Structure 1
Amino acid sequence: MTHTLAPEWQALTTEPDGLSESPFWHPEENRLYWVDIPGRRIGRVRVQGVQPQGAVEYWPLTQEPGCIAPVQGGGLVMALRDGIYLAREWGGPLQALAAAPYDTSKLRFNDGKCDAQGRFWAGSMYEPRDQALGVLYALQDQALQDKAHAATTANGLAWSPDGHTLYWSDTASHCVRAWNFDPATASLSHERVFQQFPIKPAGWVWGDAAAPAYGGRPDGATVDSEGAYWSAQYEGKRLVRLSPAGEVLAVVETPVQCPTMPCFGGADLKTLFITSSRQGRSAAELGLYPLSGCIFAVRVEVAGLPVNFYR
């Protein structure tokens, strides 16, 4: 049976980002980190429970950050438009690790994170959005290696708790795929469709009461300690919790129309955070959801998994 939940979300930020993404909880700092892609900045804030502690800090960048991950020993690894970079401290100089292997006038890095072995992964998105030219890359042996293809907008990267299943979504096709994953070699096999969400109805417009129902499309994702896959449904005003077999276990309503990515944090990993978007949304939608683009938190019953550090 599918459960629909409408929890009381707490806003952690009140200054909206254009498109916040790639959140992670840093257990050593009690901070939540994220990126604002069009704002070309990285944000962070200390959190206690579901309440911010102190001011939000922003680190301005010269390029769009698609995703970030913490580094063992301190710092961040980040995927910018033209490549992967390492910063040893907040606001510090960037060390280039790998150049982007694509045409940066049409593609950029989007969703990504580290695997349990400390390798950094990032998918690309094709900005004209009329071809599935996005690729999933892993930074392996000091080079970016192709791991999966055929996505227009790479999203939803996550691993099962045992590390033997990799999930990856293409937002444009509304599809989440899964592969068998070999942690030792980072190789993928046995590709299959994990969940195919209904395609957006032709002519669907937000706020049109006569428009067909639409549940959104899969954006960023995370996996909890029970192995369930949490998918943010962009334009769907919800998260969907899927079992390891792809069954819909729960639908969690969100306080904005366009949630972009969930993650778990807090000392017990039972605080669920979501990022969101306001970029390109209508004035009517933003009037109803003025905090679109902000970060939100809520307490949940099932713990998540700790973030993986880059090594």
Structure 2
Amino acid sequence: MSSGEVRVAVASAALLGESPFWHPRERALFYCDIPDRKLQRFDPASGALVHWDFDTELASCAPCVDGRLLLAMRDGLWRFDPQGGARTLLAEPPYDPAKERFNDGKCDPQGRFWVGTIYEPRDAAKATLHCWVGGKLVKRADNATVGNGLAWSPNGRTLYWSDTKAHTIYAFDFEPASGELSGRRVFARFPIKQDGQSLDSYGGRPDGAAVDAEGCYWVAMFEGQRLLRLSPSGELLREVRLPVRCATMPCFGGADLKTIYITTSREKRPAAELIAQPMAGCVLSLEVDVPGLPVNFAT
């Protein structure tokens, strides 16, 4: 696999960029800026960057077959028309919005939208994973604090979900027809940062992720300044060093799905770090040899 060079794809810095996906019909990258309450759309061919503003945090998004988008926001799950700007509520939040919000979300190969939550006090494993099916949100997993890392294996029979705070990525057996989960197990676990430990010696914690055509799991290591490629058995195959401390999530894009786009964060980072890392908050990109899996559309 070629090493590739990490470069800046979108120079406009987000506060906390998240949930990128490549829209094959539009040949554009969509992603969220959670605290700035924005949905961003970047066209690599023209360099145009446009956005939509909202009145609450937008955590994740997914394309719909009909051209609209699903938006997981603090105040619920919405269907959004980027052409006219209309937003329709599909489901109220299954949590107390004062303490919790939606986080990482995407569609499975069958077109069902899955979304985890983040328990913001971060003092208990109260985050959950829900599936939008049959016109309602159904809880499928729990016992996490910061739900992240959603992805599916190429054959659609393994679902990945992580708890960022616990530094742990889980794998589940996934039943495609019903969306039922079973066999929860640890896929990968990383050392937790110790009190007083320097960030330079800390490897980071698993944030957003994407799977490639060989079934390898690419994960952004928040505060670890790196992107990892793990084999289907959880073995570390590759480490990509990044020019920013806080990568949040990769996705595969471009016509051949061989460009990894990586959202990053600058929110609440020390001033000295931001001076040393001016790319913080920008979207990075990396060319790879093995293509990723295409985005799944909501039906």
TM-score w.r.t. length of structure 1: 0.93
2:44 aligns with one of 44, 47, 60: 47
AA at the equivalent of 2:150 = L
What corresponds to 2:106 in structure 1?
Answer: 113
1:125 aligns with one of 118, 122, 133: 118
1:267 aligns with one of 239, 243, 255: 255
Matched, 1:20 2:11: no
> What is the DSSP-based 3-state SS (H/G/I as helix, E as strand, rest coil) of the residue aligned with 2:197?
coil
What corresponds to 2:161 in structure 1?
Answer: 168
What corresponds to 1:58 in structure 2?
Answer: 51
Gaps of 5+ in 1: 208-212
Percent identity, please.
51
2:286 aligns with one of 285, 298, 308: 298
C-alpha displacement of 1:90: 3.9
2:30 aligns with one of 24, 30, 33: 33
What corresponds to 2:91 in structure 1?
Answer: 98
C-alpha displacement of 1:282: 0.5
Rounded to whole Å, the distance in 2 between the matches of 1:206 and 1:90 is 43
1:238 aligns with one of 226, 230, 235: 226
* CA displacement 1:7-64 (0-9 Å, x = unmatched): 422212222111000000000111000000000000011114xxxx232101101110
> What is the DSSP-based 3-state SS (H/G/I as helix, E as strand, rest coil) of the residue aligned with 1:310?
coil
- Note the 1:100-249 alignment, pairs <5 A: 100-206=93-199, 213-249=201-237
Residues 90, 22 of structure 1: alpha-carbon distance in 2 compared, 3 angstrom cutoff: farther
> What is the DSSP-based 3-state SS (H/G/I as helix, E as strand, rest coil) of the residue aligned with 1:302?
coil
AA at the equivalent of 1:120 = F
* CA displacement 1:52-84 (0-9 Å, x = unmatched): x23210110111011000110201101000110
TM-score w.r.t. length of structure 2: 0.97
Tell me if the contact between 1:7 and 1:253 (Cα under 8 Å) persists in the aligned partners: no
Rounded to whole Å, the distance in 1 between the matches of 2:199 and 2:159 is 32
Tell me if the contact between 1:76 and 1:90 (Cα under 8 Å) persists in the aligned partners: no
> What is the DSSP-based 3-state SS (H/G/I as helix, E as strand, rest coil) of the residue aligned with 1:25?
strand
- Note the 1:83-94 alignment, pairs <5 A: 83-90=76-83, 92-94=85-87
What corresponds to 1:210 in structure 2?
Answer: none
AA at the equivalent of 2:34 = I
What corresponds to 2:60 in structure 1?
Answer: 67
Tell me if the contact between 1:177 and 1:192 (Cα under 8 Å) persists in the aligned partners: yes
Rounded to whole Å, the distance in 2 between the matches of 1:218 and 1:235 is 9
> What is the DSSP-based 3-state SS (H/G/I as helix, E as strand, rest coil) of the residue aligned with 2:285?
strand
1:251 aligns with one of 239, 247, 258: 239
Residues 151, 90 of structure 1: alpha-carbon distance in 2 compared, 3 angstrom cutoff: farther
Rounded to whole Å, the distance in 2 between the matches of 1:277 and 1:181 is 31
AA at the equivalent of 1:33 = F
Rounded to whole Å, the distance in 2 between the matches of 1:204 and 1:129 is 20
Rounded to whole Å, the distance in 2 between the matches of 1:91 and 1:199 is 45
AA at the equivalent of 2:13 = P
C-alpha displacement of 1:87: 1.2
Tell me if the contact between 1:6 and 1:254 (Cα under 8 Å) persists in the aligned partners: no
Number of equivalent positions:
299
1:11 aligns with one of 8, 11, 14: 8
State the superposition RMSD in angstroms. 1.3
* CA displacement 1:261-307 (0-9 Å, x = unmatched): 00001111001100000011101110111120110112111100000
What corresponds to 1:77 in structure 2?
Answer: 70
> What is the DSSP-based 3-state SS (H/G/I as helix, E as strand, rest coil) of the residue aligned with 1:100?
coil
Rounded to whole Å, the distance in 1 between the matches of 2:17 and 2:213 is 25
> What is the DSSP-based 3-state SS (H/G/I as helix, E as strand, rest coil) of the residue aligned with 2:89?
strand
Gaps of 5+ in 2: none
